Structure 1
Amino acid sequence: MSAPTVSTQSTRQAAGPRRPRPGPAVGPPAGGAFRQALRRQLTAHGFLIGAVLCFAFFSWYPMVREFLLAFQRTEDGRTTWAGWSNFTTVANDPAFWQAWRNTLLFTLLALVLGFAVPFVVALVLNEFRHARGYLRMLVYLPVMLPPVASVLLFKYLYDPGYGLFNEILAFLHLPEQQWLQDPDTAMLSVVIAATWMNMGGATLIYLAALQDIPGELYEAAELDGAGLLRKIWHVTVPQTRLVLSLMLLMQIIATMQVFTEPFLLTGGAGPEGATTTVVHLIYQYAFNFNDYGGAAALGLLLLVLLAGFSAAYVRLGRGGGDE
């Protein structure tokens, strides 16, 4: 008895439709791949060249030009090499040392107020559980205002006749102050205005750093009986040490270049030169005295000083990134 046979057609129907065999992978032509890679490279380098040209024209060229002007003198349209005479001239100017003292005083006061106040505000905002977004917007609002508008607002508040600050002092039966007209209070008044104008950005940075601190650390501190100040000193400050250090260097670099606030509030020099800063003295040499060599020499001295702080900032940032 022979075995039953199965037809080839029924076997094919049971196995389903035949799938075509995949052929050998065929890539794009060699010339096409090369053109695509070349197009991508040209596009990337085109954007890069644009950025490099912007930096070269607006950043590098002014620095090189300033370095050359610091050793040159221009008289009657003729430029001659002056050596170190521009530095000698500005160093013998009595306003030179006064400008440096005022700049350092502004930096010190700005660190006391502008560095501590945003951190305290961030600590307070970090404790809120409701309306946090509204409070952040409220704190950051002064940064969004035009600097000139903010300075003119404070100039109105400091007015000795109808200013709000003197109205508050009169209500408290305290003697009124000549905020911007008194050499003893002019610089402090400028620092207060600058702190209010620029504290929003620092506050948000501190707040972001505070929210990255694990809550278990505070719970452990509470179990050890730590109070509020001890938790801040032993938990908050160590956990935000890197951010605090970077912000400290950034604030030093920014405050030593202050110009807008003293220029608009006190006319730049202020009473008895109490608010003359290095940048304002550079402005005077360049646009009032037409001494571009002296202005460039002052700018070069400030550049060297700030370069040291910038190097420390970059090195500290790299060290934090490595951790």
Structure 2
Amino acid sequence: MAITTAPGTTGKPGRPAPPYPAGSRHASLGRKLRDNLTGHAFLLGALLCFVVFSWYPMIRGVVMSFQRTRRGETTWVGWDNYARIIHEPSFWAAWKNTFYFTVLALVLGYAVPFLVAILLNEFRHAQGYLRILVYLPVMLPPASALFLFKFYAYDPSDAGLFNAILRALHLPTSEWMQSPGMTMPAMVIASTWMNMGGAVLIYLAALQNIPGDLYEAAELDGAGIWRRIAHVTIPQTRLILALMAMLQIVATMQLFIEPLILANGAGAEDSATSVAYLIYQHGFFQNDLNGAAALGVIMLVALAGFSAVYVRLTSRQD
């Protein structure tokens, strides 16, 4: 009995002929379809997690911000939750504290990791050990690191580390978290120490990609270290600096765990109340989930608007 094969193919006895001739347009499309289906199948799990744990809560929060739930009954109230939240005195105080923390974090928490990365890049020996040393605070749980600051570094008594250093330098001591004027700077110091390890490694990777010829040319022209940083290092890492600035602002605007642990929430004279902590307070202490949702949407819109403007400005510069 003869075995037939598809015209134009070299099919072997006992094997079915391919559905399309080899090298044809249909075979190429079929191969691409199978490859795309395989890739999308691998991405499906991550996509489902993203939808369930990110997009759905976000959409649900937006819907809740226009509703009011009382005794199990939900009614649509429109913009009433937003009007009520905006007219609360704590709303504007929380935004003021959050902006103040963000500005201080940009001055200290944004500049210090970049300078530390420049110093590490200049070392020729023990770079691996120094990187581990810088990244070590990131590996600590945030709560543990903040309790370390609260009960050891910021202790207002003579046992406090920072007050001991100030006394050794013959400088006046501080009450730190008990002082309204020192609450935000103290939280910025703790936050910078906890989180700068990751930023240092990112900056260090960008610095090591700068061609050494540029520094050699700058040295031949008589440029000192500060001129080399200003005219070689910063221009060559401009894109990374811009990205890290945006991420820094978005992260610091969501200030929550620092006031919760270091200042017990509001702090002295409400000097530590942030927008994120105010959301927590409305949702879990006042049982006002709709007001908390409205606050969350306001923060979402503010951060999304800032990110859009920032990306537009930086893209024009590029």
TM tier, smaller? 0.7 to 0.9
Report the counterpart of residue 85 of structure 2 in structure 1.
90
**Structure of greater Rg:** 1
**Structure 2 counterparts to residues 189-208 of structure 1, below 5 A:** 189-208=186-205
Asked if the contact 2:137/2:197 (under 8 Å) is kept, the reply is yes
Matched, 1:135 2:140: no
Asked if the contact 2:163/2:173 (under 8 Å) is kept, the reply is yes
2:16 equivalent among 6, 10, 29 = 29
Asked if the contact 1:125/1:207 (under 8 Å) is kept, the reply is yes
Q: 2:161, 2:131 → 1: CA distance?
A: 25
Q: What is the CA RMSD across the aligned residues, in angstroms?
A: 2.4
Calculate the TM-score normalised by the size of structure 1: 0.86
Report the counterpart of residue 112 of structure 1 in structure 2.
107
Report the counterpart of residue 4 of structure 2 in structure 1.
none
Gaps of 5+ in 2: 1-8, 21-26
Q: 2:58, 2:11 → 1: CA distance?
A: 55
Report the counterpart of residue 126 of structure 1 in structure 2.
121
Q: 1:296, 1:110 → 2: CA distance?
A: 26
Q: 1:300, 1:136 → 2: CA distance?
A: 39
Shift of 1:219: 1.3
Once the two structures are overlaid, the 10-residue window that deviates more, 178-187 or 303-312, is 303-312
Matched, 1:48 2:35: no
SS in 2 for 1:143: helix
> Structure 1's 148 and 32: CA in aligned 2 closer, same or farther, altered over 3 A?
farther
Report the counterpart of residue 143 of structure 2 in structure 1.
148
Asked if the contact 2:242/2:314 (under 8 Å) is kept, the reply is no
Cα deviation, 1:63-87, whole Å, max 9, x if unaligned, reads 1101101100111111001111101
> Structure 1's 42 and 225: CA in aligned 2 closer, same or farther, altered over 3 A?
closer
Report the counterpart of residue 11 of structure 1 in structure 2.
none
Gaps of 5+ in 1: 1-23
SS in 2 for 1:191: helix
Calculate the TM-score normalised by the size of structure 2: 0.87
Report the counterpart of residue 6 of structure 2 in structure 1.
none
Cα deviation, 1:79-124, whole Å, max 9, x if unaligned, reads 0011111011111110000000000000000000010000100110
Matched, 1:266 2:263: yes
> Structure 1's 76 and 120: CA in aligned 2 closer, same or farther, altered over 3 A?
same
Q: 1:308, 1:215 → 2: CA distance?
A: 39
Task: Give the AA of the match of 1:159.
Answer: D
SS in 2 for 1:180: helix
Once the two structures are overlaid, the 10-residue window that deviates more, 120-129 or 171-180, is 171-180
Q: 1:154, 1:30 → 2: CA distance?
A: 73
Report the counterpart of residue 219 of structure 1 in structure 2.
216
**Structure 2 counterparts to residues 1-323 of structure 1, below 5 A:** 25-26=10-11, 29-30=16-17, 43-156=38-151, 157-161=153-157, 162-311=159-308
Q: 1:26, 1:319 → 2: CA distance?
A: 58
> Structure 1's 30 and 107: CA in aligned 2 closer, same or farther, altered over 3 A?
farther
Asked if the contact 2:166/2:173 (under 8 Å) is kept, the reply is yes
Task: Give the AA of the match of 2:11.
Answer: V
Asked if the contact 2:137/2:194 (under 8 Å) is kept, the reply is yes
Shift of 1:46: 3.5
> Structure 1's 40 and 208: CA in aligned 2 closer, same or farther, altered over 3 A?
closer
Cα deviation, 1:208-247, whole Å, max 9, x if unaligned, reads 1111111111111112111111111111111111110010
Q: 1:298, 1:248 → 2: CA distance?
A: 24
Shift of 1:169: 1.6
Q: 2:268, 2:102 → 1: CA distance?
A: 19
Shift of 1:36: 9.7
Q: 2:33, 2:240 → 1: CA distance?
A: 42
The alignment of Structure 1 onto Structure 2 pairs a total of residues equal to: 298
Task: Give the AA of the match of 2:68.
Answer: R
Task: Give the AA of the match of 1:51.
Answer: A
Asked if the contact 2:176/2:186 (under 8 Å) is kept, the reply is yes
SS in 2 for 1:188: helix
